[in-house]
């Protein structure tokens, strides 16, 4: 079944540097996506925000959202374990 979907997902970390590190890590995963799937991830005021637009089969959308949540989880683990630092507004792992 084809669907047209849009979503905005927000994770609130309450920390500018943590949110920036997680958003930077996840945004790299958003490169080279199919044309019918558009993800934009960024940090704002200690939050990670992902905006999604999609047109296609519902199963593919579910897989893409699952991948997003998994990517956030991995980025959280790396970031919250302290294996990163922020220099001049850029995340370094």
The sign of the torsion formed by the CA atoms of 81, 17, 42, 48 equals: positive
DSSP state letter for 14: S
Tens digits of pLDDT across the chain (93 residues): 899 999 999 999 999 999 999 999 998 666 678 889 998 999 999 999 999 999 999 999 999 899 999 999 999 998 888 755 555 555 554
CATH superfamily of 2-85: Alpha-D-phosphohexomutase, C-terminal domain (3.30.310.50)
In sequence order, the β-bridge partners of residue 4 are 55
pTM above 0.85, yes or no: no
Q: How many CB atoms lie within 10 A of CB 79?
A: 22
Which two structure tokens, joined as six digits, stand for 12? 């609130």
Model pLDDT, residue 27: 82
């Amino acid at each position: 079944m084809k669907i047209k979907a849009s979503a905005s997902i927000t994770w609130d970390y309450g920390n500018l540097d943590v949110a920036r590190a997680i958003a930077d890590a996840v945004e790299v995963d958003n490169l080279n996506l199919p044309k019918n799937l558009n993800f934009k991830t960024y940090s704002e005021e200690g939050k990670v925000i992902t905006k999604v637009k999609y047109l296609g089969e519902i199963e593919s959308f579910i897989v893409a959202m699952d991948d997003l949540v998994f990517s956030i989880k991995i980025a959280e683990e790396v970031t919250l374990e302290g294996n990163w630092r922020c220099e001049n507004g850029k995340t370094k792992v």
